[in-house]
Amino acid sequence: EDQVTQSPEALRLQEGESSSLNCSYTVSGLRGLFWYRQDPGKGPEFLFTLYSAGEEKEKERLKATLTKKESFLHITAPKPEDSATYLCAVVPHRAGTALIFGKGTTLSVSS
Amino acid sequence: DVKVTQSSRYLVKRTGEKVFLECVQDMDHENMFWYRQDPGLGLRLIYFSYDVKMKEKGDIPEGYSVSREKKERFSLILESASTNQTSMYLCASSLTGGAGTEAFFGQGTRLTVV
């Protein structure tokens, strides 16, 4: 069964304190892995797509990496405005499948 | 930019009512999805559609139906609303195949059934 597990469930950081969020997955052939940011009461906002092991993507203070079994979202010197829930999702290779989501990591950054 | 628009941000309906949630996307995407999101359960797929008039059941289709008569519009129907369908409903769309298969989401509809 295809599955996505994110850890930790919640993470509290001080402003400037770098850390990483983990997304481990089991899937029958990976078409793509996606990271989203979700603010309270809003829809998820797309951040990154990763397609193959070794790939990395960066956007401001965020960097996403991918191995054959997991992905990391590294947050460097976070600011309070980075506080949000970060969601990871995968799409398997087989046709006719939708995104399979993890339950997310809720990040709180205090000043 | 891709835009996915859901017809309502907030809805309050009574038990037993038939409820329609509408979603429109403006980027000619083949795929459209309906998810619900509940605390502790994450996003769960209700239905998706990969073409006009085509639909596939997701993980939790019971109590729901969908309609896709035009490529840009995907409707979710609660045949007889119940209190356990109180939730945040999220619509998304994506292209098929190749690069750029990421899904883009609407702003969500917070449905309360009383």
**B45: chain A residues, CB-CB within 8 Å:** 98-100
Per-residue confidence at A96, pLDDT binned at 50, 70, 90?
A: low
Residue A55, Ramachandran bin (φ over 0: left; ψ between -120 and 50: alpha; else beta):
beta
Question: Are A104 and B45 inside 8 Å of each other by CB?
Answer: no
Task: Name the closest residue on chain A to residue B6, using Cα atoms.
Answer: A43
What does the pLDDT read at residue A19? 98
Per-residue confidence at A95, pLDDT binned at 50, 70, 90?
A: low
- Cβ contact A33:A71 at 8 Å: yes
Cβ-Cβ contacts under 8 Å between A and B: the total is: 56
What does the pLDDT read at residue B101? 77
Task: Name the closest residue on chain B to residue A93, using Cα atoms.
Answer: B97
Segment B96-105 shows an average pLDDT of 74
Segment B19-28 shows an average pLDDT of 95
Q: Which amino acid is at B80?
A: S
**Is the pLDDT confidence value at B99 over 60?**
no
B98 CB within 8 Å of a chain A CB: no
| Segments in chain B forming alpha helices (H) | none
Question: Are B107 and A96 inside 8 Å of each other by CB?
Answer: no
**B40: chain A residues, CB-CB within 8 Å:** 103
B34 CB within 8 Å of a chain A CB: no
Question: Are B33 and A98 inside 8 Å of each other by CB?
Answer: yes
User: pLDDT tens digits for A11-66?
Assistant: 999 999 999 999 999 988 888 999 999 999 999 999 999 999 999 999 999 999 99
Exposure class string for A74-85: b at 16+ Cβ within 10 A, else e = ebeebeeebbbb
Mutate: best of A31, A36, A99, partner B, most B CBs <10 A: A99
What does the pLDDT read at residue B98? 53
What does the pLDDT read at residue A33? 94
**Is the pLDDT confidence value at A69 over 80?**
yes
Distance CA A63, CA A15 (A): 17
What does the pLDDT read at residue B100? 55
**Is the pLDDT confidence value at A94 over 90?**
no
Question: Are A102 and B42 inside 8 Å of each other by CB?
Answer: yes
Question: Are B43 and A101 inside 8 Å of each other by CB?
Answer: yes
What does the pLDDT read at residue A62? 98
